[in-house]
Structure 1
């Protein structure tokens, strides 16, 4: 609206000037003066519309940023060859992780399986119990220790968690088969309950994103951000 008013005022001023000059100039001079004045009017109108569009765009960006609440950092856009900065949002993403480490329960679980195999062999002289307890319990302990070591180095211990999850699932299946044959609550029923709980625990750690990072890495990441 303001650009239209300014154009109208310029045109009326030009007509009045031309009317005064027409009395003392030839037709050719009058034509040249008209062309020059019209060029000046067009240039003034273009500059006015450009300035108005820039100011309108700036007002739109300010209102948009005020609504969304994005006062941080900025990206640069170009309008008519000039830079216009637009605030954008700083996104700080935190890595998802479980609330507890796998080896906190993995080490005791492996120890219980290993000691259960040894106790079963001592009381029943069952070699299968010793082999099962030694293999599964030793594997659980080894994977838990490796997971702890890798976690201290700040690396992902997901493969070791998956290995413990697989062993827990195998122990659960084996104890279910044994219970269906013997119907003994101890120690078979106890191992079924324990393996089920550990299977749920390992699944939770995997779904939650793995072990939480060490405190040193957390403090360094906070200082960098």
Structure 2
């Protein structure tokens, strides 16, 4: 009977209509599957509520350094490049110019490329390792020059800065690389439904 008291005829498809929810199964990090919604069988058996239930899977965050390699790499490359230019102006020695331009330009190129690759969400480990190798070469060259001349500035200063940067690059590599960009970090931590 209908609401107005008159009898109504129902077709078989109308009388057998039931609510059903699809089951979305996702794999978590440890291999177990988790249901994100209840099925119609769970509803009929009384195992759930009338609303779909979402389960949030907590993902482990990737280990990363506290600071990016290019935060110190770009200023370091600029310092080496400008030091080579200034050294050439005062001494007129083309070796100083070529060393400064070669090493400083390479450090700047690797650092800015690392920044661009990092913004895309990709690994910049090869560029970090390249900067570390250049720091070792600069440390070796400036330490040899300091051993011969015993001048604190500029060779002793550059040897110290190169050693500090080598330690920094080692820290970044050992700790797991650059942290992910914030927009990618937020999308992996809190997935949107």
Distance (whole Å) between structure 1 residues aligned to residue 189 and residue 123 of structure 2: 19
CA offset at residue 203 of structure 1?
Answer: 0.3
CA distance in structure 2 between the aligned counterparts of 1:159 and 1:209, rounded to whole angstroms: 13
Q: How does 1:1-225 map to 2 (within 5 A)?
A: 92-224=59-191
Q: TM-score scaled to structure 1, two decimals?
A: 0.59
Higher relative contact order (CA 8 A, sep 6+): 2
How far apart in 1 are the matches of 2:58 and 2:75?
40
- Provide the secondary structure at the position in 2 that maps to 1:224: coil
* TM-score normalized by the length of structure 2: 0.69
**Number of residue pairs the alignment of both structures matches:** 139
Q: Deviations over 1:20-74 (max 9, x none)?
A: xxxxxxxxxxxxxxxxxxxxxxxxxxxxxxxxxxxxxxxxxxxxxxxxxxxx959
- The answer to whether the Cα contact below 8 Å between 2:59 and 2:189 also exists between their aligned partners in 1 is no
- Off by >3 Å, runs of 4+ in structure 1: none
Measure, in 2, the Cα distance between the counterparts of 1:119 and 1:219: 44
Q: Closer, same or farther in 2 for the Cα pair 1:215/1:94, shift >3 Å?
A: same
Report which of the two has the higher share of helix: 1
- Structure 2: distance between partners of 1:162 and 1:115: 23
Separation (CA, whole Å) in 2 of partners of 1:177 and 1:196: 13
Q: Which residue of 1 aligns with 2:44?
A: none
Taking the aligned partners of 2:168 and 2:121, their CA distance within structure 1 comes to 22
Q: What secondary structure is seen at the aligned counterpart in 1 of 2:78?
A: helix
Give the secondary-structure state (helix, strand or coil) at the position aligned to 1:118.
helix
CA distance in 2 between counterparts of 1:173 and 1:127 reads: 20
The structure that has the greater radius of gyration is: 1
| SS across alignment from 2:190 | helix
